[in-house]
Amino acid sequence: MPQTLKEVDVVVIGVGFAGSILAKELAASGLKVVGLERGQARHTVPDFQAPAIHDELKYSVRKGMMQDVTREAMTFRNHHQEVALPMRQWEAFLPGTGLGGCGAHWNGQIWRYQIADFIYKSHLEKRYGKKFLDPDLRIQDWGVTYQELEPYYDRFEYLCGACGKAGNLNGKIEQGGNPLEAPRSREYPNPPSKEQYAGALFRKAASDLGYHPFLQPSANMTRPYTNPEGLTLSPCVYCGFCERYGCEHFAKASPQTVILPVLRKNPNFELRTESQVLRINLDNSGKKATGVNYMDAQGREFEQPASLVLLTAFALNDVRMLLLSGIGQPYDPVTEKGVVGRNYAYQTQSYVPAFLKEDIHLNSYMAAGASGTVIDDFSVDNFDHSALGFIGGCYILCGSTNARPIEFHPTPPGTPRWGRLWKDAVRRHYNHTAMFNLSGSSSASRWNYLDLDPTYRDAWGLPLLRMTFDFPDNDLRMSKYVTGKASEIARRMGAVIVVDEPRTGPFTTTAYQSTHNTGGAIIGSDPATSVVNRYCQTWDVPNVFVVGACNYPQNSSYNPTGTLGALIYWTADALKSRYLKNPGPLV
Amino acid sequence: MGDGPNSSSRRNFLRSGLIAISSVSLAGEAPALLANPRTETAPHFFNEPERKFLSAAVDCLIPPDERWPGAAEADVVNYIDLQMAGQWGKGELLYRHGPFRKGTPTQGYQLEYTPAELFRRSIAAINAHFSAQGTSFNQLPPAEKDAYLSSLEKGGIDLDGVPSNTFFDFLLKHTVEGFFSDPIYGGNKNKISWKMIGFPGAYSDYYDLIDKHGVELHREPLGIGDGAASHLMNAMRRGH
């Protein structure tokens, strides 16, 4: 029998960026908040300290900071007629776990989405007509606009000490920034990062071709910074161990550096780590959550009653928790009924390695997680698609987050995979290869979705999440076009060999692409096609809110965390200013 | 691009914290390196016939050349041995619940074997194959070794339940890991691969260098196991 604990006002499931910011805001309002984190507590000191943290084998190859796959895996298939099998190790994407969540080991690439992203369906229909989309696509508007979210983007960027140069300040185009960005209400809190050599070469080539290069917005500090919570961060030293690693320097914005120390000082907040939530409990009506059941590291089960449940785990795990708890109707791709698991999308990544002359020493291992020079000319709908026959796009970035050698040792096409010729090629090209990274949009489609697996279970006996996904044909056409544009820039840079590697299908779980898994609990204006309303409140159970990249109806070209930060503060505001005064549906 | 090992100039750079902008000639340093005696390490997992196969095989995958040692001299066999004896080899980092079924290539590894079981099973089948012909893999002439490994890579050979291409991919993956990973894992002896490509290792600070575009950095690589003092010296250069 589970032991029933004393009721609290709020229980938070997952203490990453979303969980810690929402908990901080609500605890500061006087509510009693319990944060349940399945992973371990971990802190800049001692857990992220060098030299031990600079261990490529442990953290990059063996995925030392990621979700424990031995206990909780996911199953996968490309098509819904196939039998899904477990991903027995993480390769394609890396769900986080532990205090700080993915925020502890992200790269700090902090982007905003475009105005068009939030009204994507309406925008595309208006610009290209109603028949432009491939019939399998399921594009939707968010139900919340960029203009509404702008103050909350701003708040998250100031929390994180975002480093960059505004390109569009209240509608006025600024030199040095991204002229194609949506208008921002004030300048970034910190100046942009130092530019890498590869980025400088790219900048010149891209400018020559008439594009608009700028330094990628970064949450790796460029100077000492004290955020509005009173926490101070140090400048990034470009160590080249960022994504998949914790930062030893207090230089990367993470829950550990920007919010947790404040949250944990508030006596209204209690953190319980190694606490695995099994389900959100509903009352007999099924319309009200009464709290959660969870199991601790000793295998003891507890019931934690709460008036309000905030689901803030990794995007995919949020969807699974809704399914395990019976909140919302599961999506069925055949009938297209149901909403939970609908519109799962990803990121359509592609690459262009540019092999340069041997006298160009790039030193790509000198890198921040958000290093890179980038153009936005081919993102989302920043270019005219009417003659192209697809929607979406990519930003094109040149630079490196690292050059850690187990995973980075590029060789030109035609090089054998092993032997003397391979070894010679690795030595020849290691420090002379500029990498282009294209971060591509991902269109929701009818057949890509998430549900519970009928066969495989986790260490607690609960069904694993099942992912059914392949790249929509639209996105492969998009990738081919934009990757070709990137290759032109690489040739302009004087590369000896340029490899045009657009994304091709089928999606495979065996090679890393991106951890930008989106959708499954999407935001919207219609309960028939969304799981949460515009305030991230579930339509079916008004005292359960879900805040994560699972809310995105489709994925844009950009890294999702900046937009998640905006949604977090937007939701916090709705909770504090409206919900707490009158608990119930906000729409 | 790379500097030879044991270079006194490099040690001086490390001591003084300076960076060499010019490149240093490599000629004449390789023989000293190749003559370096191998430190034998205690076997933890593989038996002698298994080690013999692995020593020969990893040197086909990453062979020695005139300037740089191959995988065997970099102690890659020792690396694989330690990995197979540990958590990874025992399958303690994999989701291991059944049913185990053959999947599509996009579904990834679906065999029931742990990495250690996969290595042992496959090598036993290979050794039995050659032993039946009165020879062993490591006794083959170099070209025949390469040809045999290519046949494994191509697939279609059953190694007692392990498809040969699956085994080959595992072998190659672990050889590359052992060649490039930090020496604390028992491979990459003398940080030889890092010197070969010019990777400075576990340093943590390039603040003053990242915007000096195009400099050639010749610096003794720093490993995790090089002691707190080395890392502290690195940090102190910028007054941390």
3-state helix/strand/coil string of A19-88: HHHHHHHHHHCCCCEEEECCCCCCCHHHHCCCCCCCCHHHHHHCCCCECCCCCCCEEEECCCCCCCEECC
Would you call B1 and A52 a contact, using CB atoms and an 8 Å cutoff?
no
* Candidates B94, B97, B207; nearest CB to A89: B94
Q: Which of B70, B88, B95 is facing A88, going by the closest CB pair?
A: B95
Q: Do A51 and B226 touch (CB under 8 A)?
A: yes
- Over residues A439-459, mean pLDDT: 98
Amino acid, res. A417: R
Confidence of residue B40 (pLDDT cuts 50, 70, 90): low
Contact A231, A199 (CB under 8 A): no
* Residue-wise pLDDT tens digits, B146-173: 999 999 999 999 999 999 999 999 999 9
The pLDDT > 90 percentage for chain A reads 100
Query: Quick one: pLDDT at residue A162?
Result: 98
Give the C-alpha separation, A99 to A189, whole Å: 26
Q: Which residues of B touch A55 (CB under 8 A)?
A: 182, 184, 202, 224
Nearest to B109 among A88, A420, A426 (CB): A88
Q: What is the mean pLDDT of residues A179-206?
A: 98
Residue A55's nearest CA partner among A404, A370, A511 is A404
B35 has pLDDT over 60: no
Does any CB of chain B come closer than 8 Å to the CB of residue A128? no
Q: Quick check: helix, strand or coil at residue A363? A: coil
Mean pLDDT of A354-359: 97
Q: Report the run of H or E that residue A373 belongs to, with start and end.
A: strand A373-375
What number is the ipTM of this complex? 0.96
Q: Do B214 and A57 touch (CB under 8 A)?
A: no
- CA separation for the pair A303, A9 (Å, rounded): 14
Within the 104-163 window of chain B, which residues sit less than 8 Å (CB to CB) from chain A? 104-110, 146, 149, 153
- The answer to whether the CB atoms of B203 and A194 lie below 8 A apart is no
Q: How far is A204 from chain B (nearest CA, A)?
A: 14
Query: A421 CB near a chain B CB, below 8 Å?
Result: no
**Cβ <8 Å between B107 and A87:** yes
Mean pLDDT in residue range B169-190: 98
CA distance A222 to chain B (A): 10
Instruction: Tell whether B239 lies on the interface with A, counting CB pairs under 8 A.
Output: no
Q: Span A322-345, mean pLDDT?
A: 98
Note which residues in 70-99 of chain B have CB less than 8 A from chain A. 70, 88, 92-97, 99
- Residues 234-273 in A contacting B (C-alpha not used; CB under 8 Å): 235-241, 248-249
Residue A510 burial by Cβ neighbours in a 10 Å radius (0-12, 13-18, 19+): middle
Contact call for A238 and B215, based on CB within 8 A: no
Helix (H, G, I), strand (E, B) or coil at A388: coil
**Is A546 a member of any domain?**
yes
Interface of A with B in 479-518 (CB under 8 A): 506-510
Of B88, B95, B176, the CB nearest to A86: B95
Tell me which residue in A87, A403, A432 faces B108 most closely, judged by beta carbons. Answer: A87
From residue A251, alpha-carbon distances to A162, A163, A277, A370, B156 in Å are 11, 12, 32, 12, 51
pLDDT in tens, A218-262: 999 999 999 999 999 999 999 999 999 999 999 999 999 999 999
Of A56, A78, A366, the CB nearest to B181: A56
Residue A155 lies in a domain: yes
B215 with A361: Cβ contact below 8 A: yes
pLDDT at B237: 59
Please tell me which of the candidates B93, B182, B184 has its beta carbon nearest to residue A89: B93
The chain B residue lying nearest A458, using CA atoms, is B97
Report the residue of chain A nearest B108, measured CA to CA: A510
Q: Calculate how close chain B gets to A545, using CA atoms only, in Å.
A: 31
Average pLDDT of chain A, as a whole number: 98
- Closest-CA residue of A relative to B195 is A427
Which chain A residue shows the shortest CA-CA distance from B216?
Answer: A361
Backbone phi, psi, residue A116, to 5°: -65, -30
Here the CATH number for the domain that contains residue A212 is: 3.50.50.60
Q: Give the domain range for residue A210.
A: 3-579
One-letter amino acid of A69: V
Q: Tokens 């579904």 sit at which residue?
A: B107
User: Does A377 contact chain B (CB < 8 Å)?
Assistant: no
Least confident of A204-213, A573-582, B19-28: B19-28
- Give me the catalytic one of A105, A429, A432, A516: A516
Asked whether the predicted pLDDT for residue B198 surpasses 70, the reply is yes
Is A516 one of the catalytic residues? yes
Question: Which of A273-277, A558-562, B178-182, B226-230 is the least confident region?
Answer: B226-230
d(CA A33, CA A264) in angstroms, rounded, equals 11
**Distance, CA of B236 to CA of A563 (rounded, Å):** 38
Residue B236's pLDDT is 63
Residues of chain A neighbouring B209 (CB-CB closer than 8 A): 363, 366
Residue of chain B minimizing CA distance to A402:
B199
pLDDT band at A399; cut points 50, 70, 90? very high
Q: Which residues of B touch A369 (CB under 8 A)?
A: none
Does pLDDT of B145 surpass 50? Answer: yes
| pTM metric for this prediction | 0.94
**pLDDT value at position B218?**
85
Residue pairs spanning A and B at CB distance below 8 A = 182
* Structure tokens belonging to residue A37: 């984190």
pLDDT of B33 above 50: no
Kindly list the residues from chain B whose CB atom is less than 8 angstroms away from the CB atom of residue A197. 213-214
The yes-or-no verdict on residue A172 having pLDDT over 80 is yes
pLDDT at B235: 62
Of all residues in chain B, the one with the smallest CA distance to A60 is: B181
Distance from CA of A571 to the nearest CA of B (A): 36
pLDDT value of position B219? 86
- Please report the residues numbered 40 through 59 in chain A whose beta carbons come closer than 8 angstroms to any beta carbon of chain B: 50-52, 54-57
What mean pLDDT is predicted for residues A566-587? Answer: 98
Tell which residue, A39, A431, A569, A132, has the closest CA to residue B198: A431
Residue B26 has pLDDT above 80, yes or no: no
Subunit contact B224:A85, Cβ cutoff 8 A:
no
Q: Which amino acid is at A200?
A: A
What is the total count of domains within chain A?
A: 1
| Residue ranges per structural domain of chain B | 1-36+200-240, 46-96+114-189
Interface of B with A in 170-229 (CB under 8 A): 172, 175-177, 180-182, 184-185, 193-194, 196-207, 209-211, 213-217, 222-224, 226, 228
In a domain, A252, yes or no: yes
State whether A91 and B108 contact (CB < 8 Å). Answer: yes
Contact B238 A237 (CB under 8 A): yes
8 Å CB contact of B214 and A241:
no
Rounded to whole angstroms, the maximal C-alpha distance in chain B is 65
A200 close contact with B: CB closer than 8 A: yes
Neighbours of A175 (CB within 10 A): 7
Give the separation between CA A291 and CA A400, rounded to whole angstroms. 44
| CB within 8 Å of A568: residues ≥ 6 apart | A17, A18, A21, A22, A152, A156, A547
Mean pLDDT for A23-50 is: 97
Instruction: Provide the pLDDT confidence category of residue B238 given band limits of 50, 70 and 90.
Output: low
